[in-house]
Chains A and B, each alone.
Chain A
Amino acid sequence: MRPVYLISGGVTKFAKAHPEKDFRLMVKEAYDYALRDIPALTPDMIDGAVGSYFSDHFTRQLKAASMVQDYLGLCPKPSKRIEGGGATGGLCLQSAWEAIASGRMECCVAFGFETMSRVSTWKGNEFIALASDTNFDFPIGGFYTGYYAMMVQRHMYEFGTTVEQMAMVSVKNHINALYNPYAQKAKRLTIEQVRQAPMVATPLTMEDICTMSDGAAVCILASERIASRVCDRPVHITGVGSGSDTMRMADRPHGKVLLLPHEQESDYATLRYPGVHSFRGGRMAAKLAYHMAGIQDPREELSFIELHDAYTSSEIQTYEDLGLCKYGEGGSFVESGIPFMPGIDYGLSLPQQGRLPVNPSGGLLACGHPVGATGLMQAVFALWQLQGAIEKHLGNGMLQVSRPRRGLIHSHAGTGTYITVTILEAVT
């Protein structure tokens, strides 16, 4: 394995619908943006690409990544499509990382997109629910919000997590997005407004759930040789990890916690794990990524996190999987203020505000979730954070984390069936 760098990225404005652009044009816009950021990179230096989109149903087109490949002018270079549900973008980034790390390529493009607007919201929910077991789960009333609602009901029962703690995540991410022009659904919210929004599946309201989007994102990865030639501030990808869990939530075991370096077995003497309250695949992904990056205590060694908050509840569950707090403490973690941005008024009392910002971009809740683009969007925002270039790309510096050293991005599929964690570091 050799060092791999993220050298540029681009994101389209995420929107409910872009009927005037198809997926090829959305990717092209993000790709051209990424190329403009590193003008010294010429097309002949690109060795190939990996494409990412979730659903052939949404696109009404199989092998859509081939059409992007030719639209970008990358034929006849190597290409393939990665599909892994909601984690598609994270898996795509890691696939491009593999191409460079193995020495197979010197420079690889990772592109992702989704056009979710071509069907109604509830048909779209059905397409997503078809990514649960179609013999045993989908016919019961297949609905991902329903699945996540059941998981967090159990989290609340086991640990005393509250709907107000979940609402704080919604407040945080929607307000962060006020400073992110790429976001779809930025707004100032209160805990009361989150709870008074229409109930979707108890206890999750419309404001606890991300929306469907049209959008695309592109990352360009390179070896040290290329990165040092074309990029002033490349970002080093120092850790990759991924994990999995059973397709049917019902099949999850109730056993022992998979421990991180800063935890002990005695922390969890009575906890039956993962059950349906926690994501074992997320814990596995974190453990592998921390090991590769040499992270002993993520609470002290990370500067910011962009994680897969498809639901406010899953952000709280993911704090625990990533070891930012112990299992069961995700609710009090958000109350502490630690995952909020410093210097932004959320209308909340936050004693430790801004110690470790989570989803400074606004996350999926506010940016939107064009599935195949989402994990790559996180990588682009992490790149800009670590380059200190948030102001350059977003037009304001409110979301710039101060002197960030190391960021974590987390991409998540199904009810936790595929999860990726990637660690990125500023080069000093």
Chain B
Amino acid sequence: MNESPEGSDPLAQHRVEILSMDPLILRDRYEIEYRHSYAQDTPFFLGLSKGELLGSRCTQCRYFYATPRRHCMECGHATTWERLPTTARIHTFTVCYYGSERFLKETPYVLILVEFEGVNTLFLSRLKGVDPEQVRIGMPVRPRFAKEPTYTVTDVWFEPIEQG
């Protein structure tokens, strides 16, 4: 936090910036710092840091989720962590030329939903290392992992598997 002549009152640290006098419009900011816990989904993020993509398998009905889910939606029983296959296909995709403010600088970027053989649900990720024009539903892809983990879901992304 910057030193300010007004002292430690956080509200006083805003310099007034007037955008309009009638109606009176001021520039205003609002920031929050969290101690965000992944709680029961922690093993998924630790898995990414070790180059492992973990799904959730129901111990009772065997339903296999491609996303972290400590309890089964189908029957309510606990799940166990199970590695997802290392090859997959694009279930659907889009190329984003605009985005939320946070991601505008990354445009154009490719979002994909990934389908894995033998897994009941899908996984949302980025597709990298491809000409956006060439992306197709059904295209084979494999996960890649960040060397320096950020402990967010962006520690995994997908790339096309070379055909040939």
* B122 partner residues in chain A, CB cutoff 8 A: 249-252, 276
Additional 16 contacts, C-beta under 8 A, given A140-B126, A141-B100, A276-B113: A20-B23, A122-B99, A123-B100, A125-B98, A140-B124, A141-B111, A141-B126, A143-B98, A146-B96, A146-B111, A199-B95, A201-B95, A201-B96, A202-B95, A202-B97, A276-B122
Q: What is the interface size of chain B, counting residues whose CB is below 8 A from a CB of the partner?
A: 44
Chain A 177-203 residues near chain B, CB threshold 8 A = 198-203
Contact code string A138-156 (vs B, CB < 8 Å = 1, else 0): 0111110111011101100
- Quick check: B152 and A139 within 8 Å, CB to CB? yes
Do most interface residues of chain B lie in helix, strand or loop, or is the interface mixed?
Answer: mixed
Q: Scan residues 38-58 of chain B and give those whose CB is less than 8 A from a CB of chain A.
A: 38, 41
Supposing A135-B41, A249-B124, A251-B73 touch, asked if A140 and B67 sit within 8 A by C-beta, the answer is no
In the complex, whether A19 has a CB less than 8 A from a CB of chain B is yes
**Bound-state Cα–Cα, A128 to B98, Å:** 14
A428 within 8 Å of B (CB atoms):
no
Contact between B92 and A142 (Cβ–Cβ < 8 Å)?
A: no
Contact yes or no, A143 B121, CB < 8 A: no
A60 interface contact, C-beta 8 A: yes
Residue numbers in B under 8 Å from A254 (CB-CB)? 120
A145 partner residues in chain B, CB cutoff 8 A: 96, 98
In contact, B97 and A125 (Cβ under 8 angstroms)? no
Residues on B with beta carbons closer than 8 Å to the beta carbon of A252: 121-122
Say yes or no: B95 contacts A251, CB within 8 Å: no
Q: Which residues of B contact A154 (CB under 8 A)?
A: 91-92, 113, 137
Residues of B within 8 A of A250 (CB): 66-67, 113, 121-124
One of B30, B92, B153 near A136 (C-beta < 8 A): B153
Question: If the complex has contacts A143-B99, A248-B124, are A150 and B20 also in contact, measured as CB distance less than 8 A?
Answer: no
Give A128 Cβ to nearest chain B Cβ, in Å: 8
